[in-house]
């Protein structure tokens, strides 16, 4: 068993990425994510990696595109407003079928918003982080340890399916200190025959590109990409269910909010209300089946988010009218409390004592 | 054990070493002993988890709290109020300073260095053997040197605040004793105290603390396991 250390979420992300073979980092500081850059800047030069503070977020994501074109594991990180700036580059990376990992430590929005924790970028992450028909793999860790465990998965799957992966964390996770351990990792980056690593006169030059001159060629390429998305939906969904087996009311929450809800579920059980929690770990692909099955068994589901209600759209979509789906949340940097969530549970569970 | 001996006591260290928790506990213990206390949140680096989070608790014990103007707001602007300067000049109240993490946070302290030196101070460096980048005593010492340089003040003692948050065990604390001793030997500084949330036999200079810094989902029940 590896030794446990106390780490800030942002530091743990950086260390886990390095351990998974990502020694090329391009970023631009923004609260509450800056410690990722600070950590990379301290460690990467010592181990022969690249830490580059770009002149802007737009530059940083395009440097990731360049590094990924060369076949190396590359990463960038930012917080909400900075992620918006990166969106054009993310679309280009997806359109070039390149793997990379992007971290969003969400803060309040829209606009410059605020620096306190938020989950208001769910729609952006799962529906449209950039223009065009494409998806990202979206992972939503709830603990610092889970961040550490998911980073390697994010790199592996990004390479397997040749697409960008997004780690969607919130300011609370980025800033909080928790005990973590680092499992022994031997990174196994995928073969990348498409990488622009020099032909040595032995093959035709590789070209990394997202421009297609003929519409039918572009349609074919996008359709091939969507066929890959279907495989991902079949094979890569991750979610955790907590006390859902006998639950009469089921809550849905991800990230740090899921921990608040978990405490509320335990409090509800102590009051005799059979509550349960579904925690999506991948937001895309979304745990459609878990929601569908749960909705068939209960009368009420409650989605709790640090936003005005975004994931609740997907929960309603897959509940498909089988039960009532309610929403509770705070936005702007306010974290819901277990007591508030318990009140919601009591309200819909019929006021059991 | 007398920890607070000077008009000004500065708590500094790697971020996440537990500076804020140590500073809040020291302020409360002095206030409970009848000492008029001012605590200054000089952290212009960390956006969350800071002394200013505990203003109600501190004020309930007649502790004066001075914090950056925009602490806990949505603004990321490092502005310190004029009352910080005033606190270092007055003579009625003991002053405890919670400094931001690393050398970056200690820069804010440098601006007051002359005044602090003139009044008389202790600068305690908080170390935590379970922080990843300072897990070796030599790493902890280089961090201390960087802080001294940025603060323009020399450290006068080491606080061993080794912890894994709620997962801290007596074994983890006992394991850290030799780490703290190494840091003291390499710097020639005395060990001020070893922070612990429960009595553990064999700890040098134990200082019993309450864990105030918590996550929003932690309930009081979990508190007792710390």
**Which residues fall within 8 angstroms of residue B33, CB to CB, at 6 or more apart?**
none
Residue A87, token pair as written in the block:
């969106």
Helix (H) or strand (E) run with residue B130 in it:
none
Helix (H) or strand (E) run with residue B143 in it:
helix B137-151
pLDDT given at position B2: 87
Q: How many CB atoms lie within 10 A of CB A226?
A: 12
pLDDT at A247 over 80: yes
pLDDT given at position B214: 81
Mean pLDDT of chain A: 95
Q: How many CB atoms lie within 10 A of CB A206?
A: 16
Q: What is the pLDDT of residues A112-153, one digit of tens each?
A: 999 999 999 999 999 989 999 999 999 999 999 999 999 999
CB contacts, 8 Å: A35 with chain B: 15
Angstrom distances, CA of residue B81 to CA of B44, B49, B71: 12, 20, 11
As a whole number of angstroms, the distance between CA A137 and CA A139 comes to 7
Residue with structure tokens 């390149």? A98
pLDDT at B223 over 80: no
Task: Map residue A206 onto helix, strand or coil.
Answer: coil
A4: nearest CB among B15, B76, B130: B130
Pick the residue from chain A with its C-alpha nearest to B214: A176
pLDDT given at position A353: 45
Q: What is the pLDDT of residues A221-238, one digit of tens each?
A: 999 999 999 999 999 999
Per the domain annotation, does B3 fall within a domain?
no
Q: How far A60 CA lies from chain B's nearest CA (Å)?
A: 22
A-facing residues of B in 20-39 (CB < 8 A) are none
As a whole number of angstroms, the distance between CA A171 and CA A79 comes to 8
Per the domain annotation, does B74 fall within a domain?
yes
CB contacts, 8 Å: A176 with chain B: 48-49, 215
Does B138 or B68 have the greater pLDDT score? B138
pLDDT given at position B78: 81
Range of the domain at B163: 8-223
Residue B184, token pair as written in the block:
């003291």
Q: Label residue B72 exposed, middle or buried (CB < 10 Å: 0-12, 13-18, 19+).
A: middle
pLDDT at B87 over 90: yes
Share of chain A above pLDDT 70, in %: 99
Contact of B216 with chain A, judged by CB distance below 8 Å, is answered with: yes
Contact of B14 with chain A, judged by CB distance below 8 Å, is answered with: no
A-facing residues of B in 177-206 (CB < 8 A) are none
CATH code at B44? Answer: 3.40.50.300
Pick the residue from chain B with its C-alpha nearest to A264: B217
pLDDT at A352 over 50: no
User: B76 and A262: CB-CB below 8 Å?
Assistant: no
Q: What is the pLDDT of residues A96-122, one digit of tens each?
A: 999 999 999 999 999 999 999 999 999
Q: What is the pLDDT of residues B124-156, one digit of tens each?
A: 999 999 998 888 999 999 999 999 999 999 999
B81 sits in the region (left: phi over 0; alpha: psi -120 to 50; else beta) called beta
Contact of B132 with chain A, judged by CB distance below 8 Å, is answered with: yes
User: A11 and B130: CB-CB below 8 Å?
Assistant: no
User: B167 and A4: CB-CB below 8 Å?
Assistant: yes
Structural domains of chain A ordered from first start:
5-235 (3.40.50.970), 240-348 (3.40.50.920)
Nearest to A290 by CA among A255, A323, A315: A315
Per the domain annotation, does B1 fall within a domain?
no
Q: What is the pLDDT of residues B100-130, one digit of tens each?
A: 888 888 999 999 999 999 999 999 999 999 9
Within chain A, residue ranges assigned H as helices are: 9-19, 34-43, 57-69, 80-95, 122-127, 144-161, 171-175, 215-235, 255-270, 288-297, 311-319, 338-348
B217: nearest CB among A11, A175, A260: A260
pLDDT given at position A161: 98
Q: What is the pLDDT of residues B11-52, one digit of tens each?
A: 999 888 889 999 999 999 999 999 999 999 998 877 777 777
Q: What is the pLDDT of residues B53-67, one digit of tens each?
A: 888 999 999 999 998
pLDDT given at position B213: 81
Task: Map residue A53 onto helix, strand or coil.
Answer: strand
Per the structure, the count of domains in chain B is: 1
Q: What is the pLDDT of residues B143-197, one digit of tens each?
A: 999 999 999 999 999 999 999 988 999 999 999 999 999 999 999 999 999 999 9
User: B164 and A4: CB-CB below 8 Å?
Assistant: yes
B18 sits in the region (left: phi over 0; alpha: psi -120 to 50; else beta) called left
Q: How far B148 CA lies from chain A's nearest CA (Å)?
A: 19
């Amino acid at each position: 068993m590896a030794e446990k250390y106390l780490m800030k979420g942002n530091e743990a992300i950086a260390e886990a990425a390095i351990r998974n073979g990502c020694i090329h980092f391009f970023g631009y500081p923004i609260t509450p994510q800056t410690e990722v850059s600070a950590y990379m800047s301290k460690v990467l030069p010592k181990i022969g990696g690249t830490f580059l503070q770009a002149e802007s977020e737009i530059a940083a994501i395009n440097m990731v595109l360049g590094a990924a074109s060369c076949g190396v594991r590359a990463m960038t990180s930012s917080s909400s407003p900075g992620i918006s700036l990166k969106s054009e580059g993310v679309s280009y990376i997806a359109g070039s079928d390149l793997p990379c990992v992007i971290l969003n430590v969400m803060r309040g929005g829209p606009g410059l918003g605020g620096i306190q924790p938020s989950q208001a970028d769910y729609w952006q992450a799962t529906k449209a982080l950039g223009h065009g028909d494409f998806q990202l793999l979206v992972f939503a860790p709830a603990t610092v340890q889970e961040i550490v465990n998911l980073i390697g998965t994010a790199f592996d799957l990004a390479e397997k399916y040749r697409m960008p992966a997004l780690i969607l964390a919130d300011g609370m996770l980025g800033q909080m200190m928790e005990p973590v351990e680092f499992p022994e990792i031997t990174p196994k980056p995928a073969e990348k025959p498409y990488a622009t690593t020099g032909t040595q006169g032995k093959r035709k030059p590789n070209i990394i590109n997202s421009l297609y001159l003929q519409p039918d060629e572009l349609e074919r390429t996008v359709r091939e990409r969507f066929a890959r998305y279907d495989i991902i939906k079949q094979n890569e969904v991750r979610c955790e269910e907590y006390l859902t087996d006998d639950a009469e009311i089921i809550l849905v929450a991800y990230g740090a909010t899921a921990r608040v809800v978990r405490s509320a579920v335990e409090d509800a059980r102590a009051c005799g209300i059979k509550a349960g929690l579904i925690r999506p770990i991948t937001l895309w692909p979304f745990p459609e089946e878990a929601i569908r099955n749960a909705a068939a068994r209960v009368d009420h589901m409650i989605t709790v988010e640090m936003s005005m209600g975004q994931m609740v759209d997907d929960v309603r979509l897959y509940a498909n009218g089988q039960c009532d789906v309610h929403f509770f949340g705070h936005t702007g940097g306010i974290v819901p409390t277990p007591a508030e969530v318990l009140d919601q549970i009591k309200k819909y569970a019929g006021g059991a004592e | 054990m007398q920890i607070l001996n000077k008009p000004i006591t500065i708590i500094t260290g790697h971020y996440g070493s537990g500076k804020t928790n140590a500073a809040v506990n020291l302020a409360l213990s002095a206030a409970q002993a009848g000492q008029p206390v001012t605590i200054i949140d000089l952290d212009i680096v960390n956006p969350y988890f800071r002394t200013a989070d505990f203003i109600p608790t501190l004020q309930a014990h007649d502790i004066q709290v001075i914090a950056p103007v925009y602490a806990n707001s949505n603004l990321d602007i490092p502005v310190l109020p004029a009352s910080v300067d005033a606190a270092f000049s007055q003579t009625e109240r003991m002053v405890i300073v919670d400094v931001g993490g690393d050398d970056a946070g200690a820069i804010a302290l440098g601006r007051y260095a002359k005044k602090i030196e003139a009044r008389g101070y202790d600068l305690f460096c908080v170390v935590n053997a379970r922080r990843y980048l300072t897990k070796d005593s030599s790493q902890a010492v280089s961090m201390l040197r960087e802080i001294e340089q940025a603060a323009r003040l020399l450290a006068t003692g080491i606080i061993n605040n080794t912890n894994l948050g709620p997962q801290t065990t007596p074994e983890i604390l006992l394991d850290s004793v030799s780490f703290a001793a190494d840091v003291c030997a390499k710097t020639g500084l005395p060990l001020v105290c070893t922070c612990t949330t429960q009595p553990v036999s064999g700890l040098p200079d134990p200082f019993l603390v309450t864990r105030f810094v918590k996550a929003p989902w932690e309930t009081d029940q979990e508190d007792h396991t710390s």
